[in-house]
């Protein structure tokens, strides 16, 4: 991402303890990145990756606790002095169908999938701006591009993530920040374990998605990628 004389880039990654998040950690660490990892229980980060080091910070981050976002960003700056990349990966696929009246579940989806990424974006933009080539990666979904299931809550929030990403692109472009929505279909993680629409062996490997994330981070400012659609089955839109 940076030349050899520049300090190692610092990545702030939510939902880092498992699934896509854990794959991103394992992809970035060997390439010299410094990582600020957020999870509801930091002990899960230690269990997944070992103890903190000079290159890795474990932090408490709970989408339902706005103060945890502020504390996490502050701790990151205190340890590393900068933030180069924000990856909004934490998400929920709690099921709320169109004709189901479950406002509490819908509120939880909005809190995790939309409000938390927006909050972290607001907190990180001043630090990303200072780098001259800050990056924001929002892990969205193909369900934010088209609808193929009845779960209106998930679909609505993922469409909202696309709106967040494109608004961020417009607002921060002149500050050298590039925002990208990465939209996978089925990824072989715990979130898709109950899915029967496609065999698990045919789903996207989280390690593949992690490589796409790193490639997107490392593109130069004059090769900005607004959306990356990643599918494991044929669809006309691709």
| Catalytically active residues, by annotation | 154
The CA distances from residue 25 to 30, 33, 138, 204, in Å, are 9, 9, 15, 17
The Cβ of residue 32 has, within 10 Å, a number of other Cβ atoms equal to: 12
Q: Distance between CA 77 and CA 56 in Å, rounded?
A: 13
CB-hemisphere CA count at 13 Å for 32?
Answer: 10
Q: What is the dihedral of CA 87, 93, 97, 103, to 10 degrees?
A: -80
Q: Are 206 and 23 in contact (CB under 8 A)?
A: yes
């Amino acid at each position: 991402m940076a030349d050899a004389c520049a300090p190692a880039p610092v990545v702030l990654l939510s939902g880092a303890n498992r699934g896509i998040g854990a794959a991103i950690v394992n992809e970035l660490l060997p390439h010299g990145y410094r990582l600020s990892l957020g999870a509801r229980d930091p002990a899960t980060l230690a269990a997944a990756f070992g103890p903190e080091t000079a290159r890795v910070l474990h932090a408490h981050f709970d989408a339902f606790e706005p103060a945890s976002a502020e504390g996490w960003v502050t701790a990151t700056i205190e340890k590393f002095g900068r933030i180069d990349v924000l990856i909004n990966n934490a998400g929920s696929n709690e099921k709320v169908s169109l004709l189901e009246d479950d406002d509490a579940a819908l509120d939880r989806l909005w809190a995790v999938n939309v409000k938390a990424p927006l909050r972290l974006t607001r907190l990180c933009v001043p630090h990303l701006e200072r780098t001259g080539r800050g990056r924001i990666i929002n892990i969205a979904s193909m369900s934010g591009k088209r609808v193929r299931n009845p779960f209106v809550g998930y679909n609505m929030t993922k469409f909202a993530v696309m709106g967040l990403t494109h608004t961020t692109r417009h607002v921060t472009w002149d500050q050298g920040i590039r925002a990208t929505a990465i939209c996978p279909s089925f990824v072989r993680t715990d979130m898709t374990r109950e899915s029967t629409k496609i065999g698990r062996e045919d789903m996207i490997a989280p390690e593949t998605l992690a490589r796409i994330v790193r490639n997107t981070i490392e593109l130069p400012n004059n090769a900005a990628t607004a959306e990356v659609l990643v599918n494991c089955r044929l669809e006309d839109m691709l």
